[in-house]
Amino acid sequence: MLNISNCLSLDQKRILITGGTGSLGRQLAKILVKLNSTTRVIVLSRDEFKQHEMQCWAQANGWNERLTFFLGDVREYDRLRRAFYGVDYVIHTAALKQVPAAEYNPFEFVKTNVMGAQNVINAALDCGVKKVVAISTDKAANPINLYGATKLCSDKLFVAGNSYSGMNGARFSVVRYGNVVGSRGSVVPFFLHERKKGILPITDDRMTRFWITLEQGASLVLNALDRMLGGELFIPRIPSMRISDLARVIAPECRQEVVGIRPGEKLHEVMIAMDDGRQTFQFDNYFVIKPLSSPWREDWSALKGRPCPPDFYYGSDNNTEWLSDEQLTRMIASLDLPEAQKWAKERGR
């Protein structure tokens, strides 16, 4: 994954993170306050308790003076406009994400993921923000569930936002990646917990997934913030793994029980659908889907990107890079989770 140490000039910059108390938001804030002593980070989120925890964490590390906290919701445009005042860059991570909850509460997901995206775009345009990076998901590529559909709509809104900003206004880009190892709702904590029962439920033994660490995800976002032209969608080149292999590495002593794919779930993840292949450029560590139309008229090939074949498809099933058992073991052992640390100690890691 890309090195962020020297790629982004953050001197005296103010960076706001929506959903900033989530896993990615915390990781981004940690990197940003370490990276440059004059960077100011503004955290906007709905949960006052998580903000309190984050304030205590910042104070313990001597970062409290460089972090500002706003209680607010991306559904509320007026609050966003107040928070965005004087901000240089925005990283939009706030979203409702649970697939089953989206099917039961569709209007709530539309309000946050779609209307919230529109509010972020409008507030950025009205407040003179220079750059906005929005976080997407693999589920937005050929979506089959409501969550993925709302994130696809959000992606389209951010790309189109460039048409409203003018040549000197805000620029908007999107970052898309898949499962984050050990994140809330991830299968790794679930398997670590369930292994004590002697049986691990597997949705389908053919199922594959992309895998990325939280640190890699944050690195991709900050590099996108640095390199973005406006309107493009960044996708990392990351390895795949089989769910059955992950279960075997975590608990080789357990029996695997196939329980079937859940509603709204895919057998294989897709990051770049075939219809997007003709718009895709590949770089050493990532892909870029360029917008169908861009007011900037930039040449992505001039940035050392190579056009992908017209029928290019990037899925977790046709990936050229796969995680070995040893790589899976190292990734699990490195997680900052009590269950993972206990598991690693049992295996002498």
**Residue of 13, 97, 131, 139 marked active site:** 139
Mean pLDDT, residues 206-233 taken together: 91
Higher pLDDT, 331 or 166: 331
> Quick one: 284 exposed, middle or buried, by C-beta within 10 A (0-12, 13-18, 19+)?
exposed
Mean pLDDT, residues 295-304 taken together: 61
Say what the pLDDT of residue 150 is.
98
- Pairwise CA distance, residues 230 & 121, whole Å: 13
Say what the pLDDT of residue 1 is.
45
Amino acid occupying residue 194: E
Say what the pLDDT of residue 63 is.
83
Say what the pLDDT of residue 189 is.
87
Please state, rounded to an integer, the average pLDDT across all residues of the chain: 89
**For the chain, percent of residues with pLDDT exceeding 90:** 62
Domains parsed from the chain with CATH numbers? 14-179+211-238+270-320 (3.40.50.720)
- Pairwise CA distance, residues 198 & 185, whole Å: 21
Say what the pLDDT of residue 166 is.
77
Mean pLDDT, residues 252-266 taken together: 89
Say what the pLDDT of residue 186 is.
76
Q: What is the pLDDT of residues 168-177, one digit of tens each?
A: 789 999 999 9
Q: How confident is the model at residue 347 (pLDDT cuts 50, 70, 90)?
A: confident
Which SS3 state, helix, strand or coil, does residue 236 take? Answer: strand
* pTM listed for this prediction: 0.92
Query: Helix H segments across the chain?
Result: 23-35, 48-60, 77-84, 99-104, 106-109, 116-127, 146-165, 187-194, 214-227, 243-250, 325-333, 338-346
Alpha-carbon dihedral 250, 255, 257, 261, rounded to 10 degrees: 10
Q: What is the pLDDT of residues 284-297, one digit of tens each?
A: 889 999 888 766 55
28 pLDDT more than 90: yes
316 pLDDT more than 70: yes
**Is 139 part of the annotated catalytic residue set?**
yes
Instruction: Return the residue matching tokens 């940690």.
Output: 30
Measured CA angle at 25 (ends 20, 26), to 5 deg: 105
Answer whether 18's CB lies under 8 Å from 91's CB.
Answer: yes
